[in-house]
């Protein structure tokens, strides 16, 4: 399957109001209200084509061509956007077995993803396999803060956080991965060291909010939505760590029809969203920022042919 990068990449254009308004009014409006659109996926699991027409649950849903078309449309509608993934881009269809991660990286690069974090299945061809596929095909950021890669070959590839600037909006993004021990064979993740997600998130949320003065703080999480047992999850993360505006989740393949709003210890609130698996849905959250508050609206976009 040959995918042409030009089929996916879109040149974004500035959004014009098209109204005859006084320059001072436009300047004040721009200062008072700013907006950015966050598009996101999780657990796409090598699903390049749509699900088969006879699939019991997701007939004809998903597919990277359908996803790319929706992403293109949204980018043409809005001035500022980011496209993010919360991990497990590998494993699930014969495309992964045949192309060893190269195809997944190619289509994500072609769609213009800005960043992803690492899921447990992203180590299914080992650290070296992930590195090879990425370096040959992609340039988007790999972000994970609670894995220590110091003694691995990808120590210069994975970063704990990154700040994206869209016009005058600063978005700080950090990533969190699940405990690999007992979930992934040791030979696949090698010398990666796992650190407590709550402590790490507390550290980087503060850095991004106060030191870096970000307008939004987003966590790409592959911890899982929530569990019956006492295990760190997105819900625990949201309730125990301040200053995170949005957690984009993964791992548990949870379908949120609407994002969950969790009250934090600082009396603020954190949104949690996760859009299932297999690239069936694209999440969209529009943040409207002003000097006094942040508002958001959301849309779960089902992808079908």
Which residue is listed with tokens 């920022």? 289
**49 assigned to some structural domain:** yes
Report the pLDDT value the prediction gives residue 23, as an integer from 0 to 100.
53
Task: Out of 10-14, 19-23, 151-155, pick the least confident.
Answer: 10-14
pTM for the model stands at 0.90
Alpha helices for the chain (secondary structure H): 23-32, 64-77, 94-99, 102-111, 126-137, 186-189, 197-206, 234-240
Q: How many structural domains comprise the chain?
A: 1
Give the pLDDT band (50/70/90) at residue 31: low
Per the structure, the complete domain to which residue 171 belongs is given by 36-302
Does the pLDDT at position 135 exceed 80? yes
**6 assigned to some structural domain:** no
Task: Out of 8-22, 202-216, 241-255, 281-295, pick the least confident.
Answer: 8-22
**85 assigned to some structural domain:** yes
Q: What is the CATH number of the domain that holds 99?
A: 3.60.21.10
**165 assigned to some structural domain:** yes
278 within 8 A of 41, measured Cβ to Cβ: no
């Amino acid at each position: 399957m040959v995918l042409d990068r030009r089929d996916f990449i879109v040149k974004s254009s500035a959004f014009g109001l098209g109204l005859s308004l006084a320059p001072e009014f436009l300047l004040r409006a721009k200062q008072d209200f700013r907006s950015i659109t966050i598009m996101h996926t999780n657990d796409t699991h090598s699903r390049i084509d749509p699900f088969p027409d006879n699939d019991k649950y997701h007939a004809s849903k998903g597919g990277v061509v359908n996803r790319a078309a929706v992403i293109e449309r949204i980018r043409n509608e809005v001035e500022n956007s980011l496209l993010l993934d919360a991990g497990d881009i590998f494993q699930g269809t014969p495309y992964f077995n045949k192309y060893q991660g190269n195809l997944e990286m190619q289509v994500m690069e072609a769609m213009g993803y800005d960043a992803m974090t690492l899921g447990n299945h992203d180590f299914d061809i080992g650290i070296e396999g992930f590195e090879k596929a990425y370096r040959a095909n992609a340039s988007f950021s790999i972000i994970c803060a609670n894995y220590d890669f110091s003694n691995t070959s990808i120590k210069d590839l994975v970063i704990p956080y990154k700040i994206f600037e869209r016009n005058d909006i600063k978005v700080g993004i950090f990533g969190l991965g699940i405990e690999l021990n007992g979930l992934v064979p040791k030979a696949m993740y090698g010398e990666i060291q796992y650190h407590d997600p709550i402590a790490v998130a507390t550290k980087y949320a503060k850095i991004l909010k106060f030191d870096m003065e970000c307008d939004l703080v987003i966590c790409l999480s592959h911890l899982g939505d929530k569990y019956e047992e006492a295990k760190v999850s997105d819900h625990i993360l949201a309730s125990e760590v301040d200053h995170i505006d949005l957690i984009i989740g993964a791992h548990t393949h949870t379908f949120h029809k609407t994002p969950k709003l969790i009250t934090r210890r600082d009396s603020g609130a954190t949104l949690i969203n996760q859009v299932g698996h297999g690239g069936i849905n694209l999440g969209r959250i529009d943040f409207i920022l002003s000097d006094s508050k942040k508002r958001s609206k959301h849309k779960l976009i089902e992808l079908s042919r």
